[in-house]
Structure 1
Amino acid sequence: MRVSHNFSAEFDDDNLIATAGLVPVMLLAESAGLSGLVDEYVTVAGSAGANADVKVGALVAGMVAGADSISDMDLLRHGGMDRAFTEHRAPTTLGTHLRGYKFGHVRQLDAIASRLLVALAARVPGLLRGGDEVTYLDIDDTIRQTHGYAKQGTGYGYSGIKGLNALVATLSTPAAPPVIAGMRLRKGSVKSDRGAGQMIAEALATARRAGTGGLVTGRADSAFYLHHVVAAIRRGGARFSITARMDKAVVAAISRIGEEDWVGIKYPEAIWDQDEQRWISDAEVAEIPYTAFTSRKKADHVAARLIVRRVKRLNPASATAEQGDLLTAYRHHAVFTDSPLSMLAAEAAHRDHAIIEQVIADLKTGPLAHCPSGAFSANSAWAVLAAISFNLTRAAGVLASKFHARARTATIRAQLINTPARIANRARSWLLHLPRNWPWQHAWDALFDAAGSPLPAPA
């Protein structure tokens, strides 16, 4: 492809917009009740809190369109955006609104985010498709790196990176990709499990209100292998599947597994043996009954299953002594679970916990690319709004097409949200002229038609 002519350029068209996909997305947000929820819950005082519904809506719209800082919110004020949307606010006004938040106001946003997710699940039935049978609640934390000394709450955590810590909880099903059920920004030096029990309880309550009436399993890595995390999952009526730390008790339990109990699994480079009807693989799985947290009082002991995956070491001589001499030929990964699934199914389901890393990566390449304010409470509010924008984008993808239902946020943004259009007036209404032969025209039309349709009647 070559440029066909000599060009000049002028920014002079008042009727062009670069983000036409925001029209159906914000229609979807309004039909799910975003403005009403903000009016009901947000009580930021003074001029900073005036017209909170307008300001929160603008912040969410900017994040959906790709804004990762307060100054980026200016993208909502170009060309014909004043015709597509009403009551625009300058980035400085939006920044002042965020700085008006305190801890209690951030919790108000949490209430809005959970209720909006429930409304979206009713508005977009495919958002949590299959949740009436199987749902997974994944919880993990991540460090959002910061620089300089101006930001409140920064510190050095387990990763050795200076920044702020975000705790994330997601809901997904085998048929539906994750949505965010909880997001909380914390100090950078905090331990991973801080506040996890409360977030799990709130996320499970949100999941039930969103219609996930089947088997719910909470999954987490070894940083959350703690009694209070397991207890919170159980109190919420869910099963647990948590990576066990390789402490002395776990190593001793693994050592008691007989060699004949290991079963090969389908793993990279595995070969199916037709004669023996099994996988020949470097990865094998076995299980053993196990009681965890025996250092606590007897009422806190938890009896369940320890499912162990082992993989041959390429260089056994380099193995550390932490797993004992008997285990140096293999790397072992133990999962403590009360899942009713079979051993192989439960182990494979736990490996899918890695799906939350995709959500974290999407956030870090989107709204959480920066923590835009020096005030900790403002950054906390920004993180919750990022979760709301993520769920809106995911819902838009589900309405658009099967491909976009599972696509990454950046893909949905590039193909559906950031679609250029020219606004024209026809028969006393506004018409969007979109590019001819747009590759994702059918998906965009499906999103536009569905976002403007009435709310379906409750079951």
Structure 2
Amino acid sequence: MQSSHAASAVAAAFDDANLIAHAGLVPVMRLAEQCGLARLVTDKVKLSGARNSAGAAADAKVTSIMAGMAAGADSIDDLDVLRHGAMPALFGGIRAPSTLGTFLRAFTHGHALQLHAVHRKFLAELAAHTPLLPGAGERAFIDVDSTHKRVYGRTKQGAEYGRFKGIRTLHPLLATVCTPSSRPVIAAVRMRRGKAADSRGAPKFVSEALATAREAGCTGTRILRADSQFYNAGVIAACRRAGAHFSITTGMNPAIKRAVHTIPDQAWQQISYPTAVPDPDTGELISGAEVAEIPAYTAFTGRKKSEQVTARLIVRRVRDLAKPPTVGEQDELFPVWRYHPFFTDNPAQTLKAEREHRHHAVVEQVIADSKASALAHLPSGHFNANAAWLTLWAMTYNLLRATGALASAFHAKATTATLRSHLVNVPARIARSARRITLHLPNNWPWRHAWTRLLDTVHGPSPEPV
């Protein structure tokens, strides 16, 4: 590919008032309207007292922020991407970045909780009106994990030196929900200080995530999956109160080690991976492992009887390539296995339960997605403004996932970056005729059929709940 004109023959002028750079926002924000986003914000988010001016028309400000995030904004200043060309002809109530920044800084912890309520109800509406979670009535997985987001500036509230030496972070907690045939969506998020323990507030958070999953249509078997940081009696009790199963990595604490060493050699089953998978400890690719189960293991024996839990302990072991086997009698003295146990009441057979637990890593895709989009920055010095920004990102993420589900089978499982480049960031010229606006998009756009299907679906009669 090369330029077809000499450099001197090309000129540019930013003077066309009928162009827009993000035509995909038309069906995206229409879907948000159909799912009652503005109404939910008006009903739930109440900025009172001296914050009244910032909270006026909160629905327009929330939708402006979410539209900017859908278009690729990762800071407050970037929200100005909405104010160009013919955007005012297509959308009313677009707010300036300065106004949106003032709105976010007016949030308190209570207002952030109000926005969480909006997120929860909005996800339920998206799931009711789009094929967002196919098969949710039969089986769904709720994955809980935390991440550290590096921030800069000593005046940023809540930023502390946590897990990573010399790096100041905030410490978001998130829960996703998915089915065996869908990509995950976000059930709940929480912003926390950099030094907060991974499991801080986890039982309450798990209860909220499980309730949100049920509201989103996950009425069948629900299985909570988590890493060893969440292996505690409170999290498991929250699962049982909600009528959900659990599958939680335990780590190799002394009690677990003693239990693992009681497993007879003949109990181990060979498994082979169709494609090599990374070892969770070393990152090396492995193609096979062995799995065994202790059917009745009692956890938390140091607690009172009512808090002890008896369930399955499933263990996967892989060869430790860093310790190659020796010869002769030394084989028994120096075993070459590393063990990865998890505690579960998943009713599936052993190998299936192990495979489903290993799929917990899908939550890392959402975390990576966040840091490549609106969470590339946590843009405010105010902790609660960043908490609101986090929740608005989660709502935008779910909105784009629902958009992809309506567009095509491919886009239903595409990443946010792909959805944005294929469906949202499409240039268009508007034309007006007989009180009707027509969008003229690029000829031969590769994903025009998916885009047209999306537009026709959301701009036709209001869809019936699926």
TM-score (norm 2): 0.92
Q: In 2 relative to 1, CA 10–368 (structure 1 residues): closer, same or farther, beyond 3 Å?
A: same
- Spell out, residue by residue over 1:125-156, the C-alpha distance to the aligned partner (whole angstroms, 9 max, x if none): x2010011100000000001011202100112
Whether 2:263 is the aligned partner of 1:257: answer yes
Partner residue in 1 for 2:160: 155
The whole-number CA distance in structure 1 between the counterparts of 2:274 and 2:218 is 33
| Deviation for aligned residue 1:84 | 1.1
| Deviation for aligned residue 1:200 | 1.3
Partner residue in 1 for 2:213: 207
One of 253, 275, 281 as aligned partner of 1:247: 253
Identity %: 53
DSSP-derived class of the 1:44 partner: coil
Opposite residue 232 of structure 1, the aligned amino acid is: A
One of 98, 107, 127 as aligned partner of 2:104: 98
The whole-number CA distance in structure 1 between the counterparts of 2:124 and 2:178 is 14
| Deviation for aligned residue 1:268 | 5.9
The whole-number CA distance in structure 1 between the counterparts of 2:334 and 2:96 is 61
| Deviation for aligned residue 1:222 | 0.6
Report if the CA contact (8 A) 2:157-2:383 is conserved. yes
Partner residue in 2 for 1:275: none
Partner residue in 2 for 1:82: 88
Partner residue in 1 for 2:234: 228
The whole-number CA distance in structure 2 between the counterparts of 1:449 and 1:458 is 16
- Superposed, 1:161-180 pairs within 5 Å as 161-180=167-186
Whether 2:23 is the aligned partner of 1:20: answer yes
Partner residue in 1 for 2:199: 193
One of 424, 428, 445 as aligned partner of 1:421: 428
One of 108, 133, 138 as aligned partner of 1:133: 138
| Deviation for aligned residue 1:375 | 0.3
The whole-number CA distance in structure 2 between the counterparts of 1:119 and 1:34 is 9
Partner residue in 2 for 1:34: 37
Q: In 2 relative to 1, CA 94–101 (structure 1 residues): closer, same or farther, beyond 3 Å?
A: same
Whether 2:441 is the aligned partner of 1:403: answer no
TM-score (norm 1): 0.94
| Deviation for aligned residue 1:450 | 1.4
DSSP-derived class of the 2:240 partner: helix
- Spell out, residue by residue over 1:87-115, the C-alpha distance to the aligned partner (whole angstroms, 9 max, x if none): 22110000000000000100010000000
The count of residues paired between Structure 1 and Structure 2 equals 443
Opposite residue 408 of structure 1, the aligned amino acid is: T
| Deviation for aligned residue 1:331 | 1.2
DSSP-derived class of the 2:172 partner: strand
The worse-fitting range, judged by mean Cα deviation, of 44-53 and 106-115 is 44-53
DSSP-derived class of the 1:137 partner: strand
| Deviation for aligned residue 1:387 | 0.3
- Spell out, residue by residue over 1:286-317, the C-alpha distance to the aligned partner (whole angstroms, 9 max, x if none): 01131111111111111001111110011227
The whole-number CA distance in structure 1 between the counterparts of 2:66 and 2:32 is 9
- Superposed, 1:53-452 pairs within 5 Å as 53-124=59-130, 126-160=131-165, 161-267=167-273, 282-288=288-294, 289-316=296-323, 328-452=335-459
The whole-number CA distance in structure 1 between the counterparts of 2:394 and 2:218 is 20
Q: In 2 relative to 1, CA 246–159 (structure 1 residues): closer, same or farther, beyond 3 Å?
A: farther
| Deviation for aligned residue 1:282 | 4.0
One of 9, 26, 36 as aligned partner of 2:12: 9
One of 31, 39, 56 as aligned partner of 1:50: 56
Opposite residue 181 of structure 2, the aligned amino acid is: A
Report if the CA contact (8 A) 2:129-2:464 is conserved. no
Report if the CA contact (8 A) 2:171-2:194 is conserved. yes
The whole-number CA distance in structure 2 between the counterparts of 1:436 and 1:268 is 41
| Deviation for aligned residue 1:35 | 0.3
The whole-number CA distance in structure 2 between the counterparts of 1:102 and 1:187 is 15
Q: In 2 relative to 1, CA 326–213 (structure 1 residues): closer, same or farther, beyond 3 Å?
A: farther
Structure 1 unpaired stretches of 5+: 271-279, 319-324
Q: In 2 relative to 1, CA 442–73 (structure 1 residues): closer, same or farther, beyond 3 Å?
A: same
Opposite residue 285 of structure 1, the aligned amino acid is: V
- Spell out, residue by residue over 1:203-237, the C-alpha distance to the aligned partner (whole angstroms, 9 max, x if none): 11111122211100000001111111111111111
DSSP-derived class of the 1:174 partner: coil
Structure 2 unpaired stretches of 5+: 277-285, 326-331
Q: In 2 relative to 1, CA 298–69 (structure 1 residues): closer, same or farther, beyond 3 Å?
A: same
- Spell out, residue by residue over 1:333-371, the C-alpha distance to the aligned partner (whole angstroms, 9 max, x if none): 001000000000000000000000001111111111101
DSSP-derived class of the 1:138 partner: strand
The whole-number CA distance in structure 1 between the counterparts of 2:241 and 2:460 is 39
